[in-house]
Structure 1
Amino acid sequence: MAEEAARRAVAELPLLRTAAGPRDREGWAPRLKEEYRALIQYVENNKRADNDWFRLESNAEGTRWFGRCWYIHELLKYEFAIEFDIPVTYPNTAPEIAIPELDGKTAKMYRGGKICLSDHFKPLWARNVPKFGLAHLMALGLGPWLAVEVPDLVAKGIIQHKEK
């Protein structure tokens, strides 16, 4: 069921065309425009489906991204700061999203609070370069990670709701 929802969400996202990263001065601006269009579309789709779950913004160059994400579990909202940098080899390499406040609290995380996406998401990203972008990273990477990890962390008592 979750896989089907992910497929639907991705099917509604525009695929990106420009194969350029931050080091490609001429190609990066068009790629960044495509990224913003896809992110805006994803946010609009989520709001329409009453599934709004993140806010994201970047520095002026579009190389450093930061924001907040949240997950509703048992009618309680768990909210986290997120951050990531665009790798110099982007779009061939997917960004690594970090949730610093969860650093060291789950095995599915690397040093610095970077979430583990290597088993499921990174092979999918590699098969879809340059069509996938940041909206796909959120939809197929961070979203499913939160859906698995937050309930598990709550059940183990590792994280608690702010009001408890």
Structure 2
Amino acid sequence: MDEESKSRLKAIPLCKTKAGPRDGDLWIERLKEEYESLIKFAQNNKESGSDWFRLESNENGTKWYGKCWHFHNMVKYEFDVEFDIPVTYPVTAPEIALPELDGKTAKMYRGGKICLSEHFKPLWARNAPKFGIAHAFSLGLGPWLAVEIPDLVEKGLIQPKS
């Protein structure tokens, strides 16, 4: 990881509460921390000119959905993004999915879930429960988009939305 990536990562607040969706009031506390981290991450991205996602959740914070995008050769490629919070969260990282890309790359599982097992999951395991959704996007989805989208474009497998 380069110094710029490290400094961006350090600017995302860490979560303190070790709680998942089954933990009642502790989950509510964890959800507040998640939103604080996501808001700060989004603000930092906007300030640095690298705004690349919108995200929201259902009422209890167990299902998340939104949009993410990547620019390649000055063209915007936008995708739906979704994931559920696992019952073993935050020990287990969420499996982020881009359903419309399902089957277009080998670095993806059924349902459009992006492959993060080799690089990201060990990092998540070492940093649980401090890492949250913002960290999963920063260290997982962001780098995945940066590698896979240019490859999919060059192969003619995706087109920009008009």
* Common fold by TM > 0.5: yes
Detail structure 1 runs of 4+ shifted over 4 Å in the superposition: none
Query: Counterpart in 2 of 1:122?
Result: 121
Query: Counterpart in 2 of 1:148?
Result: 147
Evaluate the alpha carbon distance shift between residue 130 and residue 119 of structure 1 in structure 2; reply closer, same or farther with a 3 A threshold: same
TM-score (norm 1): 0.96
Secondary structure of residue in 2 paired with 1:159: coil
Q: Using the TM superposition, give the Cα deviation of residue 84 of structure 1 relative to its aligned residue in structure 2, in angstroms.
A: 0.2
Distance 1:18 1:116 in 2: 27
Distance 2:69 2:7 in 1: 21
Q: Tell me if the contact between 2:37 and 2:134 (Cα under 8 Å) persists in the aligned partners.
A: yes
TM-score (norm 2): 0.97
Q: Using the TM superposition, give the Cα deviation of residue 6 of structure 1 relative to its aligned residue in structure 2, in angstroms.
A: 2.3
Q: Using the TM superposition, give the Cα deviation of residue 162 of structure 1 relative to its aligned residue in structure 2, in angstroms.
A: 3.1
Distance 2:157 2:4 in 1: 28
Distance 1:139 1:100 in 2: 19
Q: Using the TM superposition, give the Cα deviation of residue 31 of structure 1 relative to its aligned residue in structure 2, in angstroms.
A: 0.2
Note the alpha carbon deviations across 1:105-159, whole angstroms, 9 max, x for none: 0000000000000000000000001100000011000000000000000011111
User: Once the two structures are aligned, what percentage of the paired residues are identical?
Assistant: 67
Query: Counterpart in 1 of 2:82?
Result: 83
- List gaps (5 residues or longer) in structure 1: none
Query: Counterpart in 1 of 2:53?
Result: 54
Q: Using the TM superposition, give the Cα deviation of residue 38 of structure 1 relative to its aligned residue in structure 2, in angstroms.
A: 0.3
Distance 1:30 1:42 in 2: 19
Secondary structure of residue in 1 paired with 2:50: coil
Secondary structure of residue in 2 paired with 1:89: coil
Give the total of aligned pairs: 162
Distance 1:4 1:148 in 2: 19
- List gaps (5 residues or longer) in structure 2: none
Secondary structure of residue in 1 paired with 2:68: strand
Note the alpha carbon deviations across 1:68-111, whole angstroms, 9 max, x for none: 00000000000000000000000000000010000000000000
